[in-house]
Structure 1
Amino acid sequence: MSDANLNDAFESESVEDELDIVEAADEDQADAADEIAGEAAEDEAVHVEDEDEAVAEDADGDAEESAEDDETAEAEATADETEEEAEPAAPVDPVAALREELRTLPGEWYVIHTYAGYEKRVKANLEQRAVSLNVEDFIYQAEVPEEEIVQIKGGERKNVKQNKLPGYVLVRMDLTNESWGVVRNTPGVTGFVGNAYDPYPLTLDEIVKMLAPEAEEKAAREAAEAEGK
């Protein structure tokens, strides 16, 4: 074989060898790439799994904290309710309550003279006449102020009520010619205190002072009944 043919054969074998080497290298690179891609995919899957676990742990932690907060809030609310129930109600001042009630009532309070010992009879007559003469819209209320005193009879102490203002009756009314005439002409009435034809009303302080003893006695009686129950 000539040198030229040898050279051609050698070159041909060299080219084939190089091609085999390149193909092998390409296969190795492909395998390496596949291996790298597989590892990357596995790493990514592991990373995603780790993230999911972290999110789940955070969610569980938030849920536990929320539950703890709810339990704490409920416990505090229960404690507040218990404290409120434990606190006794503040006693109501009967005189202050009376003043507030009188402040909101319609009409003015006037004082009328009566025959001695006729106070309660005048009160009853006046209430009856207000209805029969259709003046309930002007004459609202009649009161005989009383107070409780202690009397000793036969060596025994007794609590009795007596008129605080003997010979007088209190009337809450709107003063008009008609209402004035009904009161003035009630049997047992001798007239209004003050100007006979234009009487002046009592102040709030004056009427509270007159009716306060009854309000205090009523409050004390109701408190005693409540304790007895």
Structure 2
Amino acid sequence: MKRSRFFSGIWRINAILILICGLLGTAMLAFALHIFLRESFRTQHTRNVMRVADQEVDTAQESLSGFESIEGSPILRATLWLKQEYGFGSGMKEANSFRNVLLFDPASGRARWLLPGFQGILVEEHRLPSKDYSASPKPTRGFVYQAVGTDSDGDGRLTRADAKDLYVSDPDGSHVHLAINGVENFNGAHWVEDTAETFLFYTKGGQYRVAKADLRTGTMISDAELRIDGATQER
């Protein structure tokens, strides 16, 4: 009789443990399902990616940022953004792309686009010298823009993975010039103190190259393969 009660107690404990494990397993499964559904149906956000297959884009809307001043120039500037939404699996994907710059002259009350009619994206801009947040910031000498206008890798998108074109401009955007096209990687810009000359470092055709631009006129001075002394670095 005692043995029967003993085994009966063990069975009850086992049944309770099985029930608890079952409830825990169900709760974990429900939580995992919740996370999966939330990630599947949420809107995914990307930046500086533009779809070029129009039939895949559900909505597209352009918007202008607030105008800001340029150190050392009376011109005000604002950035133009394009927001695209399109289907992505069971959810939506949202891409915000930097499209252009609008320049406003308070003296004349007129505005103009930095790149009139440009249909690509600007994946990055470089202010020269770099933006200074000190109490007495240095005047802006010019800008370098990395632009993508064609889907060079054929993936249906314009991204920084595509070949880039480098544009240079003076601070107010009155002199803009396509400095270099078909750049694989942009390796930085260096503004020479007290001049308007800027060195542009980039990679094209597997070569490390350096170009020099005059930001006052937006024109190129020189462009050549970067001379590297010593042994060749294997790639």
**TM exceeds 0.5?**
no
With the length of structure 2 as denominator, give the TM-score of the two structures: 0.29
Q: Which has the larger radius of gyration?
A: 1
With the length of structure 1 as denominator, give the TM-score of the two structures: 0.29
- Relative contact order, CA 8 A, sep 6+: which one is greater? 1
The structure richer in strand per residue is 2
